[in-house]
Amino acid sequence: MTLFLSKPLRFIASCCIAVLLTLSISRQAMAMMDHGGMLMDETGMIMNANTDRLPKDCQKIGKDVDITIRAGHKYAEKFTGKMFAFDNQQWNVPPCARINITFINDDDIRHQLMIHGLPGYIYPQGMFHLELNGKGELKASLIVPAQKKTYLVHCELPQHMEKGMKAQLQVDGGDVDLPSIPGLTKPVRADSYPVDWTPSTLAVLFVCVLAGCLIPLFLIRKKLD
Amino acid sequence: MTKKSYLLLTLLILVLIAVAAQFTPGLSQKAEINPPSTVYNRVVGDTSRIESPCSNEHPEWRQAQVIEGVEIAASPLCEPDNPYDVAASVKGVNNISMATLMQSNFAQDAVIMGDDLDHDGDPDVIHIKLEVVEFNGSSPDGDFLMNTYNIAPGIQPGIWVFAPKSSGMAVKNFNSREARPFLRAPSPTIRVEQGDKVYITLENTHYLPHTIHLHGVDHAFMTPKGEDNDGMEMHPVFPGKSHTYEIQPRHVGTMLYHCHVQTAQHMMMGLGGIFVIEENQPNNWVQTFNIGAGQVRHPSVGVKKAYSQEYDLLYQSIDKKLASTIQSAIDPRLIAKDMGRVYNITESFENYFLINGHSFPYTLRDSMIVVSENENIKLRIANLQRSQVAIHFHGHKATTTAMDGVDLPAGAQVTRDVFDIATAQRIDVALNTTNDGLHSYSSGLWMFHDHVLTGTTTDGIEPGGNMNLLAYKGFLDEHGMPKMHDELFGEVFDKDYYAKKQPLWQQSKFAAAFGDVGLISPDIKKLVIFGLLIGFIIALLIAIRMIYKRRRQP
């Protein structure tokens, strides 16, 4: 049936099916629905989307921020030694912003967009999660708290974050920078690479040794004299 | 200066050394945010280390043809066997014209065929002469190898083979050090007919002693003259000597022959081949030599009854340490010592894996099994490696029909996709290309290889080793090379690839993602601090000395 419907219709239809299925099948699934829900269809999954529930520290929904996040191998090409990446590594939003995310997967494989550390009373396990089973697009929104904080954004497939699919969402400028974000922050555990020892670097070393030796000697001699 | 201030200064110096140690520059350094970028080892457009996949030297050898009345099957490979060698092997060099002999490479007494003892239309007295040839050996005339034979691009381990007695130069031409194509690994398959009186003469052209042991072949323990007929270690044929082994085999099957002097080393050096006894049939002129093994371009009458094609597949391995013993010295005493006493095969590894004398990608030039659908093909597979092989055919399940030259009754024949063969064992296999979901899954370019995981590597570099293709005809180009392989050919027909200098996948869009990592720029800040600290420590030492000297002056 879904084949003959247009894309938005198809999505709504599948969401309905998902809702019906989850309601009828198990308590666990029902619990998921109670918590704001998990929507699934053949293109992917949306977990804990939130367009209207206000975090406790917000008076009202703040600015609507539209963000498009692309994922794929090609976004890693600009970073050395990475294999997967998002097209951006950092987003900054004002407190209580409603972020309307368009998540686009340009690879033929599965990718995820997970945001961690959100308040658990709106987002079960503190998590907002978009997942695309392959090439495709998903739209979903979330509302961030007012607190000045940095949230981890990543793909949780094994080794995807480690190989570059890591970014940060900063509310009100964020509180910290997360490590090992491609092109942005240093890794905690860095690889070692052979050093490019050139004559000029050796010359720098030699001059420094000479300077470190002669300047104090010169000063001492002056004092002694 | 007081004792106390000396102590303080020493302490200061020690502290400074400890601090400087934190800033010591090294040969490697941890990356900051961005690791170093990918570098390319080769100048763009430099193709000097890259080989053409197929040089297409003898396209006229590929078609089916008749030479000296001998029917020679088509061989659509890049490097097909020389059909004149096939004709000479079938008729014997004494039964062919001088013109054919000149186009072949045999000596005038390499294969002599005599009387038809059982009057069934084919000769039954066969004289075969074998020499011993060394490839990639050393020379006192310079730092180079002689009679070079590449098993893969740029790979030249020392190898020995039994070779049919040849005539003329052993190199391509006077200015070349490259072995002529007739001289190649492996030792050729030898075919005789059941009941033939066969005289196999080893003319030891090598500088070390050798023998021929006819493994599994029906032979008497002694020759009629009472001499050694088993090729045993205690009866070596010394350099410049010859010895004739005499057989009249009653039993049919796929057997072996190999040198039995310093057996472990000499077999691993390459002195072993397949020896086939074909069923006695009328007018059965068998192809005495299958140079380079592979396709039998003139199968026997018995084989043709049940099969459309026949292939000899010889697996062997090389330990590069053993192979280098003939390359690191010229003096035979040094070589004999190095190979016999210094080298220890019980502490050895196999580094190179060959099928029919080549490793991938050269296997694609002369050793693919080329088939059509609905064929029944006979494979004679022999394992002359040090270790066991587990031969796996992609897309096919074949059936063993004989083991070690003994036919299996129908109930004992096994259809499977991995054939484990211990060292020196042989199996005869019927490969059926009927697309029925069991024997064949479809036509294509199906890989076949030893599934022991070392087997598909060349000194650890994959793809290499005995990787080979079972190729359906529509999938080969006009030079007999597999289609759909262009990108890979650019990678593997490259001497630098097997020299471990080139990363893989450099012809793809992923070149940068898997290329070599460049050098990291040194941390100048740390370098400056280190330099200044060291300089300061030196200054302090000098100052102490100066003060000390001053104090001692009156």
Q: A-chain residues within 8 Å CB-CB of B24?
A: none
pLDDT at A25 over 50: no
Going by C-beta distance under 8 Å and a sequence separation of 6 or more, which residues neighbour residue A179?
A: A185, A186, A187, A188
Tally of structural domains, chain A? 2
Residues A25, A69 share a domain? no
Q: For residue A200, tell me if it sits in a domain.
A: no
Rounded mean pLDDT, B300-323: 98
| pLDDT tens figures, B518-553 | 999 998 999 999 999 999 999 888 888 887 887 777
Classified as helix, coil or strand, B406 is: strand
Rounded mean pLDDT, B442-464: 97
pLDDT at A21 over 80: no
Domain range summary for chain B, segments of one domain joined by +: 3-36+519-552, 78-306+319-344, 363-516
**Domain final residue, candidates A149, A171, A193:** A171
Q: What distance in Å separates the CA atoms of residue B32 and residue B28, rounded to the nearest whole number?
A: 13
Q: For residue A199, tell me if it sits in a domain.
A: no
ipTM of the complex: 0.78
Q: A-chain residues within 8 Å CB-CB of B25?
A: 195, 205
Residues A58, A163 share a domain? yes
pLDDT value, residue B544: 84
| pLDDT tens figures, A48-106 | 999 999 999 999 999 999 999 999 999 999 999 999 999 999 999 999 999 999 999 99
Tokens of B203: 């003319």
| pLDDT tens figures, B500-517 | 999 989 888 899 999 999
pLDDT value, residue A14: 54
Residues A85, A53 share a domain? yes
Kindly report the nearest CA distance between residue B19 and chain A, in angstroms. Answer: 14
**Domain final residue, candidates A171, A188, A217:** A171
Rounded mean pLDDT, B343-362: 97
**A183, A191, A194 ranked by CB distance to B33: nearest:** A183
Tokens of B389: 């092989």
Rounded mean pLDDT, B88-114: 95
pLDDT value, residue A11: 53
Greatest C-alpha distance within chain A: 99
Contact B36 A193 (CB under 8 A): yes
Contact A193 B29 (CB under 8 A): yes
Residues A134, A99 share a domain? yes
Contact A208 B532 (CB under 8 A): yes
pLDDT at A26 over 50: no
Kindly report the nearest CA distance between residue B541 and chain A, in angstroms. Answer: 10
Contact B522 A201 (CB under 8 A): yes
Kindly report the nearest CA distance between residue B515 and chain A, in angstroms. Answer: 10
Classified as helix, coil or strand, B342 is: helix
Mean model confidence pLDDT for chain B: 95
Q: B-chain residues within 8 Å CB-CB of A74?
A: none
Confidence class of residue A9 from pLDDT cuts 50, 70 and 90? low
Buried b (16+ CB within 10 A) or exposed e, B370-396: bbeeebbbbbbbbbbbbbebebbbebb
pLDDT value, residue B3: 79
3-state helix, strand, coil in chain A (%, to 5): 30, 30, 45
pLDDT value, residue A6: 53
**Could you tell me the CATH number of the domain that includes residue A120?**
2.60.40.420
Residues A142, A52 share a domain? yes
Whole-structure pTM value: 0.87
pLDDT value, residue A219: 84
Report which secondary-structure segment, H or E, holds B525. helix B524-552
**Domain final residue, candidates A156, A171, A186:** A171
Confidence class of residue A32 from pLDDT cuts 50, 70 and 90? very low
pLDDT value, residue B422: 98
Determine the structural domain holding residue A33 and report its residue range. Answer: 1-37
Q: For residue A224, tell me if it sits in a domain.
A: no
Q: A-chain residues within 8 Å CB-CB of B528?
A: 204, 208
pLDDT value, residue B418: 98
Q: What distance in Å separates the CA atoms of residue B522 and residue B27, rounded to the nearest whole number?
A: 9
| CATH of segment(s) B78-306+319-344 | 2.60.40.420
Question: Over the Cα atoms of chain A, what is R_g?
Answer: 25
Confidence class of residue B50 from pLDDT cuts 50, 70 and 90? very high
Show which residues on chain A lie within 8 Å of chain B, measured between beta carbons.
73, 76-77, 79-81, 83, 183-187, 190-197, 201, 204-217, 220
Residues A90, A10 share a domain? no
The CATH architecture to which B363-516 belongs is Sandwich (2.60)
pLDDT value, residue B65: 98
Residues A101, A139 share a domain? yes
Residues A128, A75 share a domain? yes
* Gap between the terminal Cα atoms of chain B: 15
Residues A25, A53 share a domain? no
Query: What DSSP state is assigned to residue B280?
Result: P
Buried b (16+ CB within 10 A) or exposed e, B119-135: eeebbbbbbbbbbbbbb
